[in-house]
Amino acid sequence: MKVLALIGSPRLLGNTASMVHHVLDELEKEGVETDCIHIYEDDMVPCNHCNSCEIRGDGRCINEDDRMNEYLGRMVEADGLLICAPSYFGSPPAQLKIFLERAGYAMQFSGLPMRGKVGGAVAVYDHDGGTTTYLDMVAWMLRNGMVVCGTHPLTVIPGRGPGDYEKDKRGVAAMAELGKSMARALMARQMLGP
């Protein structure tokens, strides 16, 4: 079993990139392999709505100027997906939105290959937009037919500077719980079959 984390922050050592490891550590304790993609490592080109993904139906984007198709392949191979992002001006960062839009179109026209896979989301915010960012990521997973794990409280955590999120002890505990919930859902999926 494998979970792929999509990290939608440009800061490789910021709150978002640090927070994701609370979830991944729990998954690894449960025997789940993990991997990460930092979306900002590529300069993702926006979708130009060429309809090639609809015409081709192969789950790939016609634009080969970035690593989108490599990432799509890694997503389809994984059993679960964790999407993590900060709130930038009240919603997910533009690069993550571009990525999810292009991935969503390619998958929509290739039979929804993420259907039935396990998902989770983590959002960090400074003043506002944490819940909106979280719900955008969850909505993307639901639209792709994924089984999304939740926690109480939600994994929507305040933090401005590096490490600030750690002040929210309930939020840190919720991230660990998300990892455990995802592991349980992955094991159930494995027992029942995709």
pLDDT at 11: 86
Distance CA 150, CA 143 (A): 16
Q: What is the pLDDT of residue 194?
A: 63
> Which fold would CATH assign to domain 2-192?
Rossmann fold (3.40.50)
pLDDT in tens, 48-85: 889 998 999 999 999 888 999 999 999 999 999 999 99
Cis peptide before 153, with omega less than 30 degrees from 0?
yes
**Cα–Cα dist 12/34, whole Å:** 17
Mean pLDDT of the chain: 93
pLDDT at 70: 95
What are the sequence ranges of the domains in the chain?
2-192
Token code pair at residue 119: 């998902």
Confidence of residue 163 (pLDDT cuts 50, 70, 90): confident
Query: For residue 107, is pLDDT > 90?
Result: yes
Q: What is the mean pLDDT of residues 35-51?
A: 91
pTM of the model: 0.95
The mean pLDDT value for 112-119 works out to 96
